[in-house]
Copies of this chain bind each other. A is one copy, B any other.
Amino acid sequence: MNFTELAHTHKGLFEQFMIEAVSFRSQTHLEEAMRYSLEAGGKRLRPLILFAVLEAFRKPVEPAYYYGAALEMIHTYSLIHDDLPAMDDDDLRRGKPTNHIKYSEATAILAGDALLTKAFELMTRGDASAETKVMLIKELAKASGHEGMVGGQQADMDGEFANLTVEELESIHARKTGQLIHFAFLAGGTLAEASVETVTDLEEMAYTLGVAYQIRDDILDVQGTEEELGKRTGADAKLGKSTYPALLGLEQANALLTEKLEKALALNRRIKQREETYEEELLSSFIESLAL
């Protein structure tokens, strides 16, 4: 099975599961606003990575929908808050009005808060042991809080007009984008009960792909059209943000992306050499799909 086939099998069912998790008191605006952003589409990249790791180890995927939904809710809340006028001030996301445009700033703030909170409730569910749940909740909180994603967002804001080095940029993105992707790999490996060496390889793959993903995003922000991306392009340059193409030039940024993807593929081959039944294609096909 490759990554596209996995997505085809699980994406629709998983999305339905996730929406149903937010169905309390539908008479208020709040759940409507939460569902609006959850339903706005997107690739469901983080949960699908988690599911792909489980599938690669030939473990059942459905019991992990809870944890995939937690990841996607944290990603979604961060987009809602990032789009607010006080932050990136975006009116368009995935081709639709952003949450605060559709509802109100107040409701968008609260819907984000509620999605973040719901994520941790979902982490307490499912069939993992209490010890595993506690460990994963701690890791998810670190990945998404002031030491992780939120800290990276603040650093990104603070650095908008500074001249960053490539290393500083990588450090910011490791937190802003990389840590949730890291959690997806870590949770997949942990729930699949993979060996310590293999979980370590998965974590290194995660950090490598987190950077690759950001380079790719920066390149697309320069090259893509609004139609393709479903959001405003050129926004980074307009805000004077440090990006990989701005720091390295487009050609070097492309070369760095290729380098990162090759490193990730090598790690994936190493796991296959260690674990005989490991289905290498699930992650190799995903890694290859990130090439431009």
Contacts and interface: CB of A to CB of B under 8 A. Distances in A.
Contacts of A142: 121
Given A124-B137, A138-B124, A154 B86 contact: no
Given A84-B106, A107-B154, 6 more contacts: A78-B113, A110-B157, A114-B145, A121-B137, A121-B138, A130-B134
Given A109-B81, A121-B138, A114 B150 contact: yes
Given A104-B86, A133-B134, A146 B158 contact: no
Q: How large is the interface on A (under 10, 10 to 19, 20 to 34, 35 or more residues)?
A: 35 or more
Interface string A40-79: 0000000000000000000000000000000000000110
Interface string A125-163: 100011101110110111011110011011101100000
Nearest to A137: B124
Contact of A134 (B81, B124, B141): B124
B145 A121 contact: yes
Interface in A152-210: 153-155, 157-158
Contact of A30 (B138, B140, B146): B146
A64 to B, nearest CB: 16
Q: Which 9 A/B pairs are nearest by Cβ-Cβ distance? A: A121-B141, A117-B145, A86-B105, A130-B130, A114-B146, A124-B138, A30-B154, A114-B150, A120-B120
Contacts of A113: 77-78, 81, 112-113, 116, 145, 150
Where chain A touches its partner, the secondary structure class is helix
Contacts of A146: 22, 24-25, 30-31, 34, 114, 117-118
A76 to B, nearest CB: 13
A109 B110 contact: no
Contacts of A84: 106, 109
A118 B120 CA distance: 11
20 contacts: A24-B146, A25-B147, A25-B151, A28-B155, A30-B146, A30-B151, A31-B146, A77-B113, A84-B109, A86-B106, A107-B157, A110-B153, A114-B151, A117-B150, A120-B140, A121-B142, A123-B137, A124-B137, A130-B133, A134-B134
Contacts of A104: 86
A109 B87 contact: yes
Contacts of A77: 113
